[in-house]
Structure formats: C-alpha cells, structure tokens
Chain A
C-alpha cells in the first residue's frame, strides 16, 4: 500500500512536470532514488522507475550490475567423489541482470532486436574465448553460469512487469535482493513500437555500502593487518568478559 501511494504521488508529480515537454521527447523516465544504500538492516530493496512515452507502445527495462570476471568450475566424478575438474573464466559478466517488460518479450520484439539489445537473459552476451571451448560446449558452460547467478537471486527468474497508466505513463519496480553486489548499475529503458526500438535512454544507479558495514569492509581491505589484530583483541576481550560474567555462577 505504501508503494501504491508513493507510486501515485510520483506519477502525479511527474505527469504534471513533464506533460508538456514529453510531447517533444519520445521517452523520459526517472528513478525514485539513484542511490541504494546497504546499511546494517539491509534485506533487499525496491527502486521505483517511472516515466512517459510520447506515443503508445511497449517499454522494456533492463538493469545490469557492474561487469566482473567470473570463474566457473565443472564437477565430475573421480573415484566416486564429485570434484571440480574443469575451470573456465568468463571475462565480462554482469554481476546483476533483471528485465521488466510491458508485454511478453516474444511479443515485444523479434530475436534479432532482442539479441542486439540483450533483452532477456538468454540473449546476454557471455562468451568464452573461442579458442577455449567448442560452440556447443561453450553453450553448456554459459547456461551453467546463468543457472548459478539465477540460483543466488542475481539474475531473477522470469520477466517483471512494466505497468502502463493510460497510454503514456508507465512505472515498474526494480527488485534488488539482499546479496546484491555493490557498484555502478546501468538502467536501460527502451521504448518500442511495432517490434522496433524507437528510443533508448540509459542512466546509472549506484549501489553502495553505507555506514558501519562500509567502514568495516574498507578497513578490512585497506588495513588488513591492523584489522586482524583488532579482531584478535576483540576476541580476547570477549573471552575474558565471558569468563568474568559466569565466574560466580
């Protein structure tokens, strides 16, 4: 309900502010916040995306986390035990990938268009160096990678909904899970008509640890030795306190 109220408020303000200029612009949109702060109580969050198109059509929103290399192991059976037997490195893998669309993606655009804009996880370009794997083997590795990311919630299953209010105004929610990686995200919004992309606008969204968590993390990486010593000191103190607290009992 809170979301509904917020949505309506945002949409109302937005419609009012952009109603006139929207005639000239094929696509305008904004986020309820362009910073996602990971704090102590962080358990995942939602970011509201709202906007307007100048003529009725479809809208597809793609959210991509910062690209990183990913190492993938493949297990096989050695002496009855499952062992990581082969390893491949994908050089550039988005650490998060989610799509929302106003209609089923198959109805929105054909394969060619979807492949060009990487609409849908099956069109994500995750290529292994061709020297390292034959095409059908590479596909198996690629699917393995996608399955792993999907299982950890970083490539959410299925396609979320972009909801239209009338012909022009739309909104959707970007759901970020609790284990969302930090960094600069790319949010791409495409406006499509008759299966063709008429307009696309990309903007960034920052996901960052804020407060104590961020400080601890930074400290652990920047002053590793001191962090280790403090961890030991804390443990020694805690142990001593525990002994004192229960000595009488």
Chain B
C-alpha cells in the first residue's frame, strides 16, 4: 500500500515505514537510546531528502522521548533543575544549529556535514563504548572488588557559577551542563538526532551524575530541544513531514516495547557492547560512502 508523503513529496510503501519504525523502535527499546542516529540515515537511504529526514526525525523524537520520560518521571528519576540548565544550553545550541543548517543547505554542503558529523560522533562514541564494555566484561571475569570513589575532583570543579543539584547529588558549575546542552543542541539540529548517545556519556563522565537519573533527565531535556528543532525546521525550511513522523512513530512505539523486554534478558555490558558494534557499523557505512567514488559526480541541489 503506497502513501504519498506531502512534504517529502514522494510515494512510499506504508509497511516499509512501519517496519523501519518497528525495527529502530526495537533497537531503541533494547539499548535505551532514541534511535534517531539510525532512523535519519535510513530515511536518507530510502530517498527522503536529507533536510526532510532531519526535520521529521526531530518531530518523531519528541514523541518517543515523551513516552520514555513519563516512565522515568513516575520513578522520580528526572533531575528537573539539571534538565532546565541543560535545556537553556540546548535551546541556544539547537537554534544556532538550525541557522547553520540553512546556511550549509544553501551552500550545497549539508549532506557532507551531516555525514561527517555522523562519522565523527558515532566513530568516537562507538569506540569508547566498545572499549569500556570489553573492559567491563574482562573485569567481571577477574572479579575484583575494588570500590570507586563517589566522584573525583577535576578542573571542572574549579569553574565559577556553582549550583546545587539535589537529585543528582552534585554541587558543580552551571557552565558545564550549559556547554553540554549547547553542543548536543547543535547536533540535534544538524544531525536529526535527540543526542542521547552524546548526552548520556557526557552526563556520566563529564558531569558525574548518578546513572539512575541520567536517562530520565536526558529524555526530559531532549523533548524540549527536539520540539525547538521541529518548530524551527518547520518554520524556516518547511521540512517537517507530519504524515511521515506519525507513521514512523506508530511502528517505533510497538517495536520499543518488544525491545525493552528483550533488553531485560541481557547484561548491561553486553548491551553496551552490542550497541557499540551497531553504532560502529552505521559509522563505517557512512564513512565508506564518503570514500567510494559516487555513481555520478553531478547531483542536484536546492534551487532558491
């Protein structure tokens, strides 16, 4: 059954979209990530214009983050104060990101920048995660009972504008979460992702937040950042396709439930290892595409 997508201006099989939503939803439920970093490249792969893929994916992530955050909210795993500080940085970052996006699109370099950002971020994070999970697996075998310090003091703690975050049991400079929020906001706008895969490690390793509140808080602020991106992309570029977003969403919601169930059977470091491999696979594919000679040196751009 074909459906005509009004903004992407193309006709696609409904079941293909539901299937893609379901598959990415399954993986995101399994690994506890948003899945934007998989869905956006997939959409581009089936022929959705990159700009529409990015705008629409932001819209879909709003929905999946809402359904995710509600579960964490009920368990009290959202640090609202931290979320708001991250959000201030995130709104600024995503607004600037959309402006940069428009500029690059007119230059004809947006596809390259999207691909390069994916390669850089997925490559770095995938490698770090794989290394970390392999080490965790080895340590589990060695079974040493060394206890880590609650948190270490680094140069980060010397920055001014200190704030107390009760939920996260932290007393740190507000500049750090502001900066993290800003960087993730730029990524959200340019890459069409929620940015959870950057935000979560940054919260754990840079801010030193306890793992229990990390996912809830990251989802909380992703809702607002992706909502901002959705609005700006719709307003400035008309690249948000609600029909496409709703179809992907319906598949993703169902897939995520099965994914979460499957995830409960695996150990944390195994999950992270698998996620790392998947992230590296996407990264490798995109990198390979940048290096291989294109079928046609000429390609159509956006006419003004």
Contact = CB atoms under 8 A, between A and B. Distances in A.
A149 B257 CA distance: 42
A144 B297 contact: yes
A236 to B, nearest CB: 6
Contacts of B297: 74-76, 144
A68 B230 contact: no
Contact of B298 (A74, A83, A224, A230): A74
Nearest to B111: A84
Contact of B64 (A74, A178, A239): A239
B65 A239 contact: yes
A75 B300 contact: no
A235 B7 contact: no
B206 interface: no
Interface string B207-239: 000000000000000000001001111111010
A72 interface: yes
Secondary structure of the B side of the interface?
A: helix
B240 A227 contact: yes
A234 to B, nearest CB: 6
A235 B60 contact: yes
Interface string A76-110: 10001111100101000000000000000000000
Interface size bracket, B side: 35 or more
A73 to B, nearest CB: 5
20 contacts: A40-B4, A41-B4, A43-B2, A71-B108, A71-B302, A73-B108, A73-B299, A82-B294, A216-B7, A224-B235, A224-B236, A228-B231, A231-B242, A234-B246, A235-B60, A238-B253, A239-B64, A239-B66, A240-B66, A246-B257
Interface of A: 38-44, 68-76, 80-84, 87, 89, 141, 144-145, 147-149, 151, 178-179, 209, 212-214, 216-217, 220-221, 224-225, 227-232, 234-236, 238-240, 242-243, 245-246, 249
